[in-house]
């Protein structure tokens, strides 16, 4: 059977155009495909540092070296706690406005004393500073291990 030029060409083009919108969809899913669920990374939690307060005047010498704990909430502030001569101090630490390294910490004791500290973080985990108790005792502070 011989196709006439105009009629045959028209039929071939019509058939090709009708088939271009078709695609194949599998009836059964491929059993070799595996779905892997990757959990989102956990948000970083608070970071806890040790701090050591060393006596820096005669009043502080009576207390000796004092250990403290500082917890950075990773939201611009942190919490600290220590015990000096049987008095428990708790407070908050924040960065100085406009500084990424300098901060202040203030804490109240359970017997009415207070503690004021200024510090500078030399790295994300190490810092130095000084603390003054309400009775005049002064300490040099080292943050980190």
pLDDT for 99 beyond 90: no
pLDDT at 85: 94
* Residue 143 contacts residue 129 (beta carbons within 8 Å): yes
Per residue in 108-130, pLDDT tens? 999 999 999 999 999 888 999 99
What's the rounded Cα separation, in Å, for the pair 134 and 113? 6
> CB–CB of 135/86 below 8 Å?
no
End-to-end CA distance of the chain: 93
Query: pTM, whole model, 2 decimals?
Result: 0.68
10 Å CB burial of residue 113 (0-12, 13-18, 19+) is middle
Which domains, and CATH codes, for the chain?
47-143 (2.40.128.120)
Percentage, residues of the chain above pLDDT 90: 49
DSSP secondary-structure letter at 121? E
One-character DSSP codes across 59-87: HHHTT--EEEEEEE-SSSEEEEEEEETTE
CB 134 within 8 A of CB 114: yes
């Amino acid at each position: 059977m011989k196709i006439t030029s105009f009629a045959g060409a028209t039929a071939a083009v019509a058939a090709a155009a009708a088939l271009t919108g078709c695609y194949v969809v599998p009836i059964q899913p491929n059993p070799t495909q595996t779905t892997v669920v990757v959990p989102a990374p956990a948000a970083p939690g608070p970071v806890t540092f040790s701090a050591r307060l060393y006596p820096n005047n005669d009043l502080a010498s009576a207390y000796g070296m004092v250990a403290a704990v500082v917890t950075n909430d990773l939201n611009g502030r942190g919490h600290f706690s220590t015990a000096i001569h049987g008095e428990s101090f708790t407070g908050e630490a924040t960065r100085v406005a406009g500084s990424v390294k300098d901060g202040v910490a203030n804490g109240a004791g359970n017997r009415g004393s207070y503690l004021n500290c200024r510090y500078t973080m030399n790295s994300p985990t190490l810092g130095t500073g000084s603390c003054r108790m309400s009775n005049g005792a002064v300490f040099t502070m080292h943050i980190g291990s």
